[in-house]
Amino acid sequence: MDAPPRWLDREEKAAWDSFIRMQETLIGRLSRRVQTDSGMSASDYIVLVSLTERGGGRMRFLDLAKLVEWEKSRMSHQVTRMAKRGLVAREDCPDDGRGAFIVATPAGYKAIEEAAPQHVEHVRRLFIDALTPNQLSTLGRLSKRVLDHMEKQPD
């Protein structure tokens, strides 16, 4: 069948390029910032935020993985490294012999409490402040729309 590809037209390509470059630059800068400000990687940061904000500092392994939408293997390696640095600890789950809880240690709380304000400040400076409130909410709405659309699509 091999229909001729429907290449992007000039405007589509311009929009796509801007989006891609913006997103790469933004994410790149933010993660370098987290790294140099706090010594944590962006992954460390996300795990600790999720664990403390949404799980009260203690969460089942797979729930945590689902929350941040990571594969369990990635989470497992990540937790191993973070445990080695004392940011989290593993605990056995009494209800399910296979299971494990991931717990934020005091050092983990300390790390995230120091890093979070700086991170928010950078998000504000680089992203939020670039737009008016209306524009920001538009961007949020459009993002949500793309997200919902993707969820209906096959991989």
Token duo for residue 95: 């209800």
* Binding-residue pattern over the window 90 to 129 for a second copy, x denoting contact by CB under 8 A: --------------------------xxx-xx-xxxxxxx
- Give yes or no for a contact between 85 and 101, defined as CB atoms under 8 angstroms apart: no
Q: Residue 101: beta bridge partners?
A: 60, 91
Q: Which stretch binds DNA (CB under 7 A): 8-16, 64-72, 118-126, 143-151?
A: 64-72
Q: Is residue 125 part of the contact set for DNA (CB under 7 A)?
A: no
39: contact with DNA by CB under 7 A: no
Size of the site for a second copy (CB under 8 A): 55
Contacting residue, 48, 51, 79, 104, with DNA by CB under 7 A: 79
Which residue type occupies 24? E
Please identify which residue in the block is written with the tokens 């670039």: 130
Binder to a second copy among 62, 93, 107, 131 (CB under 8 A)? Answer: 131
Shortest distance, position 120 Cβ to a second copy, whole Å: 6
Around Cβ 126, how many Cβ atoms within 10 Å?
14
When CB distances are held under 5 to 8 angstroms depending on the partner's kind, the choice from a second copy, DNA, none that residue 43 binds is DNA
Query: Which residues, numbered 28-87, are part of the site for a second copy (CB under 8 A)?
Result: 29, 32-33, 69
Give yes or no for a contact between 88 and 45, defined as CB atoms under 8 angstroms apart. no
Lay out the sheet containing 58-60: strands in order across.
58-60, 100-104, 88-92
Least distance to a second copy, CB of residue 49, Å: 12
Say how far apart CA 109 and CA 88 lie, in whole Å.
9
Q: Is 81 exposed, middle or buried (0-12, 13-18, 19+ CB in 10 A)?
A: middle
Q: Is 6 in the site for DNA (CB under 7 A)?
A: no
Residues forming contacts to a second copy in the complex (CB under 8 A) are: 5-8, 11-12, 14-16, 18-19, 21-27, 29, 32-33, 69, 116-118, 120-121, 123-131, 133, 135-150, 153, 155
